[in-house]
Structure 1
């Protein structure tokens, strides 16, 4: 390892901290900070059947058999009672889609198809006409079409298998047809509401002031998320005003001090608002090593002794000599990173240090473990 690597990392983190400092924060558009209430997508879900599979579908599953009988009945075909057809060429699937805001009947949307049974692959299959339901139980779209599957699954007679990506999930581009529009209240509500993505009173107040500076008397704060907007009732004028509001630039408030720890990967992210009270950190590493070197003892010639193994153990303990890092009041992100890099801590050690600082009351930040 290059001897200057710790210093290079420290300089890189310090540069990143300066880049993220609040004094250099850029103004953002209103459309990037929140959205108008009701102008959003809606999730749709349906239960369907994929047919035409080359023997990679479900096999005699009760719910699939019942669904196939229902589909056959709609087509005028009656299957024999008490007979479960072999359905290796079909699979029971869940169909999901997002219905965009202002979507109108006749427009097309993409759908995703996923198996819910023991089907091995959906490659080569076609989805039978499936209704897609919203949260209110109403049908908003119909889906049908040939699947595009990016995964591949192969099995041999000896039991060996090869799987590439996920062959049990497919997608149908423009496979759904919108049948019902969702009311948004855009053209009927007297007052429209605009909601922040993240609650913050200061940001909400700044957005209100920026809107009122452009359009006096238009916006008022309801809470830390919502602003009430008094807009013209005529749809054409209202749309123009909404477009103008979305492009207004606002400098958002500084984010709360937060430390995010990914316990699975060891990733630690510290934002620029993190500050430390006076604290001293000493981080050392104790290594205990046990070496076993057994020796073989041979008996003397013509004796009654037996060959034996004599244990021989050596125990050593080493503790690295590490310096103590002292943080002055209000230490910033760059100072924290510089000091921890000088201590040579690993990501797992960094998590332990941050938790100890939090328990000691020196870390003024929220710890988030994901």
Structure 2
């Protein structure tokens, strides 16, 4: 891993000299112009005996569905529902979606149903966070998984048969008012908080459209745009296409404690420091011997332990870093020391504690 890092970081000085530009639309998004999450509860029918059977809330839901169709189930009788399953329905409502447009939905079991393969979703409402109905879902499920159970109890499952998807399975019934065409000030938010990037985006926008942008905080810019949907949309499109040279990311070292992965970005710098890294190897060889008594001695054959212990120390090298040492210098030096990913984490933590590592350490 260190060899790969060293090769990748060797080109950093050349890349740093030629700053790359990114579009405004790749650095952030307009506030309110986003998708909204929808959820709903429904019933999938037509399953080949892989449903929830007599699950209580499934039975209640089936009574409600039957009642809407004019069919009254006998009171006190729990219907056999192995061919039906209670499901949770989720979908994303895109920005500016209008009534009549279609959106995709995902259907997942919430009971003990074994598979949704071959099922059909009965008409179900999808609700937004405000409790209002924004779409109605219905249709046949496409399930990529498969589950098989034999008579002796053995099972075979491929992928996840309890989750299905209906392409364009919901019809939008209500539009979300974003206010983009009527608000006096439209706000634009960075994906990551950074005052320098906010200032650079403001300057780039004001250079192209003077007097338009002002910084509110490290994330948000206030944009004064012309009134009217057509003029405002044209201005927003022009702003999204503006190119900006983003600021260098903050110095960070990311450590994945589960996999041992270590990622160091190019902004990491080192103060003067010396690193000595070595491994103590203790080797124990067990070579037991068999003790055979002499003839007619009355003794017994026995195994006599025979242990040999040896201790060696490897990697007795010292690496010295001068002021302002870069990431490539660090990787090259640690590569010469022959450290493993776990050892690299220990060295980086020690450098941080010593105050020589100018970076934030993030453990995930």
TM-score range, shorter chain: over 0.9
Per-residue displacement from partner, 1:214-252 (whole Å, max 9, x unpaired)? 111111111111111111112111111111011000111
How far apart in 2 are the matches of 1:308 and 1:77?
A: 87
Aligned pair 1:170/2:145, yes or no? no
1:1-370 to 2 correspondences below 5 Å: 9=4, 11-18=6-13, 21=16, 23-301=17-295, 304-370=298-364
- With structure 1 as the length reference, what TM-score do the two structures score? 0.93
Over the residues paired in the alignment, what is the CA RMSD in angstroms? 1.9
Native 8 Å contact 1:51 1:125 kept in 2: yes
Deviation of 1:309 after TM superposition, in Å, equals 2.9
2:285 and 2:48 mapped to 1: Cα distance?
59
Query: Unaligned 5+ residue runs, structure 2?
Result: none
Contact 2:138 2:170 in 1 (8 A): yes
Residue 301 of structure 1, CA deviation: 4.8
**Alpha-carbon contact 1:194-1:226 (below 8 Å) kept:** yes
SS in 2 for 1:352: helix
Distance 2:23 2:140 in 1: 40
Mean CA deviation greater in 239-248 or 315-324: 315-324
Q: Secondary structure at the match of 2:316?
A: coil
Aligned length: 364
- SS of the equivalent of 1:203 reads helix
How far apart, in 2, do the equivalents of 1:364 and 1:46 lie?
49
Q: What TM-score results when the alignment is normalised by the length of structure 2? A: 0.94
1:182 shift after superposition: 0.6
